[in-house]
């Protein structure tokens, strides 16, 4: 082994690295961003609280059985109960308040349970025939929020403890589940809109940064001065190409999802509008960042420094309500957050009002990034 060559080459590589301030900056910044993001997300994991709506339809219960059951739920530290009236449209309320699950206690719940208990105490050998068992509670879940899984476990635990405490030898209390958006929806349906937004974001930002950096290094931008085109025309043409790639990526995701996983998402006029706005927005952002990246070696790091925070903080993979409040606030300043929300409200909830609300933000971001990109692109300086 030629140790002299290895030492010389290593020293040369280190010197080359230190002579590129951009490379040094992004090499150090990237791991700092990662530890800060994941540290902020998971450092408060022990303080997570799960929102649970409780709709008590058994308002006339005189046995206190229903009241005691709700009090048992209140004793669980990680539960944050939101008790609503019996006349509330629970599915609409879940959507409006962005809650992952609701527990509906049926009418005469306490009366039926108490009637069974009294019968078994007085007549243990006579079969109970007044009501069918078990007496079911209803759990309404939002499949788009994976925190409902933890809520299911907690509710099942309370139901199991209640049955165990009754000591009747039978399953007195049970439950049935419903989806707040219909039985056909599964979590994969809600993951796909976020995946579309995330895919467009990464391909647009990375592509724009790498392409601009390469053009600058090869002197192509300077040569554009001799051509009869404006900066806006050049940027717009590149954005059109990136838009073409965005539609290809989206079609591939939808095709595979439908053929392999049987997606039940809704495709409407908002999907192409959002793809166009999202593509223009992130390709414009990539051009802005690329204006400050001088070396091709730092292009990927610069792209990662922008995409990673948005990837994990904009609700693509982690439910926002599972994050600390300050991160939820930060998410509302990230363009990808509005893309994800617009796509989900369009493709899943079919909520026109909220789709328009979030789409408007995406459109404004796209317009702003395009204008800034035009002003920052200075061919003479390159």
The last residue of one of the domains, among 121, 151, 179, is: 179
Structural domain includes residue 35: no
d(Cα 152, Cα 155) in Å, to the nearest integer? 5
Structural domain includes residue 21: no
**How many domains does the chain contain in total?**
2
Structural domain includes residue 16: no
Name the residue among 113, 183, 98 with its Cα closest to residue 148: 98
Q: Are residues 372 and 275 in the same domain?
A: yes
How many Cα atoms sit within 13 Å of 277 on the Cβ side?
Answer: 24
Q: Are residues 194 and 225 in the same domain?
A: yes
pLDDT value at residue 46:
46
Are 17 and 24 in contact by the 8 Å Cβ rule? The answer is yes
For residue 267, the tally of other CB atoms under 10 A from its CB is 12
Structural domain includes residue 11: no
Structural domain includes residue 345: yes
Angle between helices 231-261 and 270-290 (to 10 degrees): 130
The last residue of one of the domains, among 179, 208, 241, is: 179
Torsion region of 350: left, alpha or beta (phi above 0 gives left; psi -120 to 50 gives alpha): left
The last residue of one of the domains, among 179, 208, 239, is: 179
Q: What is the CATH number of the domain that holds 138?
A: 3.40.1710
Location of structure tokens 């009236």? 85
Domain holding 338, by residue range, is: 186-376
Residues paired with 101 in a beta bridge: 141
pLDDT value at residue 293:
72
Each residue of 189-233: pLDDT tens digit? 777 888 888 889 988 888 887 777 777 776 666 776 677 767 667
Strands annotated E in the chain: 50-56, 79-84, 101-105, 135-141, 173-179
Q: Are residues 159 and 231 in the same domain?
A: no
Name the residue among 287, 198, 291 with its Cα closest to residue 246: 198
Structural domain includes residue 60: yes
SS3 340: helix
d(Cα 361, Cα 335) in Å, to the nearest integer? 8
Each residue of 66-111: pLDDT tens digit? 888 888 888 888 888 989 888 888 888 887 887 888 999 998 888 8
Q: What tens-digit pLDDT sequence spans the chain (382 residues)? A: 667 766 777 777 777 767 766 666 656 665 666 566 556 555 554 456 788 899 998 887 778 888 888 888 888 888 889 898 888 888 888 878 878 889 999 988 888 888 888 887 888 777 777 778 888 999 988 776 667 777 888 888 888 888 887 776 678 888 888 877 665 566 667 778 888 888 899 888 888 877 777 777 766 667 766 777 676 677 777 778 888 888 888 888 888 888 877 777 777 888 899 999 999 888 888 878 877 776 666 667 777 778 878 887 887 776 676 677 777 788 888 999 999 889 988 887 778 888 999 999 999 998 898 788 777 766 555 4
pLDDT value at residue 357:
92
């Amino acid at each position: 082994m030629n140790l002299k060559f290895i030492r010389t080459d290593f020293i040369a590589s280190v010197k080359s690295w230190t002579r590129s301030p951009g490379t040094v900056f992004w090499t150090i910044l990237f791991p700092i961003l990662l530890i800060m993001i994941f540290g902020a997300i998971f450092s408060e994991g022990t303080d997570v609280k799960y929102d649970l709506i409780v709709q008590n339809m058994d308002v006339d219960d005189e046995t206190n059985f229903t009241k005691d059951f709700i009090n048992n739920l209140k004793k669980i530290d990680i539960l944050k109960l939101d008790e609503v009236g019996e006349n509330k449209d629970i599915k609409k309320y879940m959507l409006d308040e962005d809650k992952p699950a609701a527990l509906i206690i049926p009418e005469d719940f306490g009366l039926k349970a108490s009637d069974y208990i009294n019968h078994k105490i007085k007549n243990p050998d006579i079969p109970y025939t007044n009501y069918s068992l078990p007496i079911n509670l209803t759990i309404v879940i939002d499949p788009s929020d994976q925190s409902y899984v933890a809520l299911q476990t907690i509710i099942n635990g309370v139901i199991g403890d209640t049955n165990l405490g009754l000591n009747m030898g039978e399953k007195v209390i049970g439950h049935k589940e419903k989806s707040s958006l219909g039985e056909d929806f599964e979590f994969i349906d809600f993951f796909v809109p976020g995946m579309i937004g995330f895919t467009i974001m990464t391909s647009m930002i990375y592509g724009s940064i790498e392409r601009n950096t390469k053009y600058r290094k090869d002197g192509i931008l300077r040569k554009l001065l001799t051509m009869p085109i404006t900066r806006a025309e050049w940027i717009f043409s590149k954005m059109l190409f990136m838009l073409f790639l965005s539609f290809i990526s989206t079609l591939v995701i939808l095709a595979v999802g439908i053929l392999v996983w049987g997606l039940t998402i809704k495709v409407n006029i908002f999907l192409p509008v959002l793809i166009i706005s999202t593509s223009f927005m992130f390709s414009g952002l990539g051009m802005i960042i690329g204006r400050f990246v001088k070396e091709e070696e730092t292009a990927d790091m610069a792209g990662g420094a922008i995409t990673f925070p948005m990837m994990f903080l904009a609700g693509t993979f982690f439910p926002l309500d599972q994050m600390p409040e300050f991160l939820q606030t930060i998410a509302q300043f990230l363009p990808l957050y509005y893309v994800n929300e617009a796509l989900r409200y369009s493709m899943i909830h079919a909520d026109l009002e909220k789709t328009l609300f979030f789409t408007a933000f995406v459109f404004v971001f796209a317009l702003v990034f395009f204008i800034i990109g035009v002003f920052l692109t200075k061919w003479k300086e390159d």
